[in-house]
Amino acid sequence: MGIEFRGVTKQYPDGTVAVDDLSLTVEDGTITVFVGPSGCGKTTSLRMINRMVEPTSGAVLLDGKDVRESDPPVLRRGIGYVIQNAGLFPHRTVLDNVATVPLLSGWGKRKARDRAAELLTTVGLPEELGKRYPAQLSGGQQQRVGVARALAADSPVLLMDEPFSAVDPIVREGLQDELLRLQSRLGKTIVFVTHDIDEAVRLGDKVAVMRVGGKLAQYGTPAEVLRHPVDDFVASFVGRDRGYRGLSFVESDGVEVKDVATVALGETLAGAVGDWRLAVNADGHPRGWLAPETTVDGPLAEEDLVAGGSLYQRGTAVRGALDAALSSPSGLGVVVDDDGRVVGAVTARQILDVLESRA
């Protein structure tokens, strides 16, 4: 079920423009991440989907239908919603928390609880935890319960507002992995809000970078946003200025593309480089590899490079990624976009894991 924002503006009664003329389409069955600094209108945008906030102008369409045509309680029951700190009811058991929506939808108590127990397992929690109260769980466990409760709506759409931001980085990564695993099975349309660019590129099929004032700065795949930020705001937000960040993102085919250290042709290098670096031309096309410990006199030229390996064009058969990795002098297979520009690299080990997991 796709979601479309059509020229949506939200001005709060005090005059604050939280969202300014937002137009974008969230494709059916994908994860779209709204990312940006605090106050840029992420939560407001999300809440206009389930009518917790009404736009001042423009329209939000769910599966082609203006959400204003749906009764808010009915609409909300059909859209899973997860918020920071899970938003659990403190005086209800974990099981009853998860069973809330099925009960509201008129399921019998027994059936709702059975379903809730099943969902706890789905999100990786032991069923026994169902008897506890939220305060008796760790932060990470509470977030899982929040996800289970949202899944209980069994709706094709899931809205997640900074669901993992209150937990420590290790737990957070576990929750992200879990979400990607779930999503590969459930194929829901997920809108995920975060202010963390690493989380955004890790989870998103598409990333919408927003700036304060509620303006959409850039909307694209993680690779596009990382490699080709449209302006200085996006560039500094994704951290281009900080250079190589070790970012990685997971392609829809399950291949995790990691950031690769690059060096530009024509650049003058100070001293020898410590590790393999991919040389790119001004257009971002790969030109070869600079071997470790190479010392280059003057601007980097093609003759300083080791020619290297086949290229893997993202979105094509995964087998090609393996060929790229195996044929590369650095052991890193170069991944390029449709225009042949570098988006990152993969190792043979990773690709073998993906191929094996499918066998």
Q: Is 40 in the site for ligand ATP (CB under 6 A)?
A: yes
**Smallest separation (angstroms) from ligand ATP to the CB of 171:** 20
Buried b (16+ CB within 10 A) or exposed e, 220-253: bbbbbbbbbbeeebbbebbeeeeeeeebbbbbee
Q: Which residues contact 320 (CB under 8 A, 6 or more apart)?
A: 310, 312, 313
Contacts with Mg ion, residue ranges (CB under 5 A): 43
Nearest to ligand ATP of 52, 355 (CB atom): 52
Closest approach of ligand ATP to the CB of residue 36, in Å: 6
Q: What is the Cα–Cα distance from 170 to 181, expressed in whole angstroms?
A: 17
- Report the residue number, 10 or 277, with the smaller CB distance to ligand ATP: 10
CB 208 within 8 A of CB 197: no
113 touching ligand ATP, by CB under 6 A: no
Segment lying near ligand ATP (by CB under 6 A), choices 8-16, 135-143, 246-254, 347-355: 8-16
- Would you say the C-alpha torsion 123, 128, 132, 136 has a positive or negative sign? negative
* b (16+ CB within 10 A) / e for 55-77: beebebbbeeeebeebeeeebbb
Q: Considering the rule CB under 6 A, would residue 195 count as an interface residue with ligand ATP?
A: yes
Which value, to the nearest 10 degrees, does the dihedral of the CA atoms of residues 38, 43, 44, 48 take? 160
Interface with ligand ATP (CB under 6 A), residue total 12
Nearer to ligand ATP, 39 or 320 (CB): 39
Which of 10/287 has CB closer to ligand ATP?
A: 10
Any contact of residue 194 with ligand ATP (CB under 6 A)? Answer: no
Q: Considering only the stretches 36-44, 86-94, 106-114, 276-284, report the one whose residues sit in contact with ligand ATP under the rule CB under 6 A.
A: 36-44
**234 makes contact with ligand ATP (CB under 6 A):** no
18 makes contact with ligand ATP (CB under 6 A): yes
Which listed range, 38-46, 66-74, 136-144, 269-277, lies at the site for ligand ATP (CB under 6 A)? 38-46
16 is a contact residue toward ligand ATP (CB under 6 A): yes
Min dist. Cβ of residue 182 to Mg ion (A): 23
Q: For residues 193 and 196, give the distance between their C-alpha atoms in angstroms, rounded to a whole number.
A: 9
Binding of ligand ATP by 41 (CB under 6 A): yes
Contact set with ligand ATP (CB under 6 A): 12, 14, 16, 18, 38-44, 195
